[in-house]
Amino acid sequence: MHSSVPSNLSQRNGFAIMFAVIIGTVMLILAVSLYSFVGHQHTGIQSIVNGEIAHFLAEAGINSSIGSVREAVAKIMSGTSGNRQLNEILLKPGDLEDVCINDMLDASWNTDLEAFAREMDKDASIKVDVWLRDLKICETAPSSWADPIAKDGYLVIESTGTFKGTSRIILIKRRIRVGSTAPAWLSKFSLFVNDAARAGEGGFNLIRNDYRGMITDGPKPLIVYNHATPDAPFEAGNMGDILREEVEAEVWQRRGWLWMGGRRSRLNLCSGAGDLGEIFHFYDVSNPNIFSPVKFSTPQAALPEAFSSSLLIPWDKSSSSVRQVSYKFGHSFVLDGFHDRSNRKESDAMYEGNILSSGEKNAYTSKSSILHLFGDARKGYQSRTRVFGNVHIAFPRYASLEVKTDEPDVEALFAAVNPPPLYLLPSVSESAWHNSIMIQDIMGRQFGGPLLQSGMLCRSYADYAQLMSRISELPYAESYNSMQDVYSNKANRVFPSDAGILAMDTGLNVEIVRNAHVFFKGRPTAQGLLQVIENRTQIEVDSISDFWKRFLNERGELELNAIVSIKNSRQLDMQIPAAGKPQPMVVKGGGIILLKQGNLVLRGITCTSPDEALTVALAGNGSVSFSSTQPNHVNIVAPNAELGYGSKFDIYGSLCVGSIYADHRFQGGTVRFRPGQDPTTSGYNRYYKVFIDPRDSFWNE
């Protein structure tokens, strides 16, 4: 039994030794771990300290240089007249990659900041960079407007502080937008009337004029020039170039277009070749003071069978000598405009002699239209272009028979008549038609002409209706084709023209393209245009007075350089320039003004440079009027507003209105297309403005 005691003691001693070794190992591990932890903690604390110092360095960089940076940025971004390299970047189509623009700035602040940091510690540094970031195109839908240059992104001032290898970055971000001050697709139009027939189909036909086209009384015409005329305020057209262009069949592509929306409308062309006459739609007018109409002859194939051979008909001298004479007949007509007065008749002069019917007189009247869409009769001012909408022109067609005879003695009698015989074919309604209508010399003279009745030439009213005098109507766009025939000196010209270049177009598939880029495709809507402009808004002010306080400089000039919306909750009229200010208002920096409510009254606006454009948009159901004859270099977007009466006006730009108030007080004026704003030309790029939001966003990284 005693032999077991040493053995147990030995086991206990072994266990104690093993336990001591384990405890020692654990303690050693704990000691090493504690030592390591203290070392890491010291490193972490140092890293935190270094980071805080780097952060303070970055803040010092922002605080000490922000004034200089903003001043330098403002200098190079002062409109598209600023830094050329920056303009090339911002006006580059499509999204832009992030780019540092330090090399475009006078970035001397970094030298000063670096010197300051080295004074603190040789391992300290500060650097401030200026970036353009996240600039993406923001007008991308061709159905409303796809502008490849309009962008939205950020100007970023980035301050980096570094201390002993640890860096911290502080960012100040400001939203930056690039947008055009031109009114999107309206820049391709001279005139856009949303509802042209609001006053009725013939509601614009109010002018009393004489045969020469001179206004006798009543309202005056609004004349639209769709190309650069020789007297344009800038970008004036050269007369020689204008006349050479007129020969081109596709000249409409380079001109401002016209839109006459809504139901069918009819414009009675004004008679004469003077400044206000519109007879140039059909005839060559080399000198507005001297005009001779051209006779159009109807082809033999288009005439009834009776015109194909000679007819034996009693002559008109049968009271003294009964005789059958062989006559050969042809057909011709001349075109004219509407005229209410002549030297023989004070009113309804165009219906004198009952050549045109009383029914036509009741339907059309004798007054001409206040809208002259193709300019005036002077060379260089005839301004044909593309027309959209269900709009027609109306004009008198005076038709006559060409009477000839092969019998020499009768032929001699014809030749002795002065003025020459004229057998006009009067307008007759279908209910008044019969075979015995007498067709005779307009002056009732008897000289050996035929005793002619309507049934001798025409078997039916349908035949006669094709030949008779009448008021005709054609789509307004087809006048373009007739003018093409005139300018190209087409031989054996016919009317209507067979050129077929342009026809009536209701505007379902309008395309505005430059090179391969499609700006617009579809049907333009004025409400959609307003939305495009509203989406461009960069600044919003409460009132009209706030607007003037902010954007008029000390000389009373408008320095806008932005796209500004005015709430105008009091619905006050906005006068431009404001009441009591000099006329016209000088635009030093262009932009867009969006008036949310109220009426617009224009008193004269002048842009000092062809590189500036001002657009004024009216969102509500107000009115646009003029209280001065001063010129207005402005685009007007007012699709719900009415163009009211007031002073005679002169607009150099594009005009969009809901309707035109047509009554005897309308004083008319001129709308001149501004070719430099045409988006199909590279000149359109002049009107982009760069806007930097005045509010900062701070970001720490």
What is the per-residue DSSP string for 268-300?
EPBPSSSTT--GGGTS--SBTTB--PPPEEPPG
Considering the domain architecture, whether residues 499 and 597 belong to the same structural domain is answered as: no
Considering the domain architecture, whether residues 586 and 497 belong to the same structural domain is answered as: no
Q: Which residue among 453, 488, 512 closes a domain?
A: 512
pLDDT at residue number 321 = 83
> How many structural domains are present in the chain?
3
Q: Could you tell me if residue 687 is inside a domain?
A: no
Q: Could you tell me if residue 684 is inside a domain?
A: no
Query: Is pLDDT of 518 > 80?
Result: yes
User: Confidence class of residue 38 from pLDDT cuts 50, 70 and 90?
Assistant: very low
pLDDT at residue number 6 = 43
Which residues lie below 8 Å from residue 189, measured CB to CB, with a gap of 6+? Answer: 256, 257, 258, 259, 654, 656
Considering the domain architecture, whether residues 492 and 587 belong to the same structural domain is answered as: no
Q: What is the CA radius of gyration of the chain?
A: 41
Q: Which residue among 477, 512, 547 closes a domain?
A: 512
Side-chain half-sphere CA neighbours of 343 within 13 A: 1
* Mean pLDDT, residues 453-480: 97
Q: For the chain, give the percent of residues with pLDDT over 90.
A: 72
User: Confidence class of residue 423 from pLDDT cuts 50, 70 and 90?
Assistant: very high
The two three-digit tokens of residue 244, written as one number: 């050479």
Considering the domain architecture, whether residues 104 and 75 belong to the same structural domain is answered as: yes
Considering the domain architecture, whether residues 472 and 425 belong to the same structural domain is answered as: yes
Considering the domain architecture, whether residues 542 and 506 belong to the same structural domain is answered as: no
Considering the domain architecture, whether residues 557 and 662 belong to the same structural domain is answered as: yes
127: left (phi > 0), else alpha (psi -120 to 50), else beta? beta
* Mean pLDDT, residues 248-266: 98
CA dihedral 110, 113, 115, 117 (to 10 degrees): -130
Please tell me the distance from the alpha carbon of residue 46 to that of residue 91, in angstroms, as a whole number.
48
User: Confidence class of residue 167 from pLDDT cuts 50, 70 and 90?
Assistant: confident
Q: Which residue among 488, 512, 536 closes a domain?
A: 512
Q: Could you tell me if residue 188 is inside a domain?
A: no
pTM score, whole prediction:
0.88
Nearest to 179 by CA among 564, 505, 578, 468: 564
Q: Could you tell me if residue 686 is inside a domain?
A: no
Q: Could you tell me if residue 496 is inside a domain?
A: yes
The two three-digit tokens of residue 130, written as one number: 């200026």
Considering the domain architecture, whether residues 503 and 433 belong to the same structural domain is answered as: yes
* Mean pLDDT, residues 255-260: 99
3-state SS track over 613-664: CEEEEECCCCEEEECCCCEECCEEEEEEEEECCCCCEEEECCEEEEEECCCC
Nearest to 398 by CA among 334, 342, 320, 303: 334
Considering the domain architecture, whether residues 575 and 497 belong to the same structural domain is answered as: no
Q: Could you tell me if residue 519 is inside a domain?
A: no
Query: Is pLDDT of 371 > 90?
Result: yes
pLDDT at residue number 677 = 97
Q: Could you tell me if residue 197 is inside a domain?
A: no
Considering the domain architecture, whether residues 428 and 281 belong to the same structural domain is answered as: yes
Burial code (b: 16+ CB inside 10 Å, e: under 16) for 80-97 equals bebbeebbeebbeeeebe
Considering the domain architecture, whether residues 488 and 636 belong to the same structural domain is answered as: no
Considering the domain architecture, whether residues 591 and 482 belong to the same structural domain is answered as: no
pLDDT at residue number 11 = 47
Q: Could you tell me if residue 277 is inside a domain?
A: yes
Q: Which domain holds residue 633?
A: 525-678
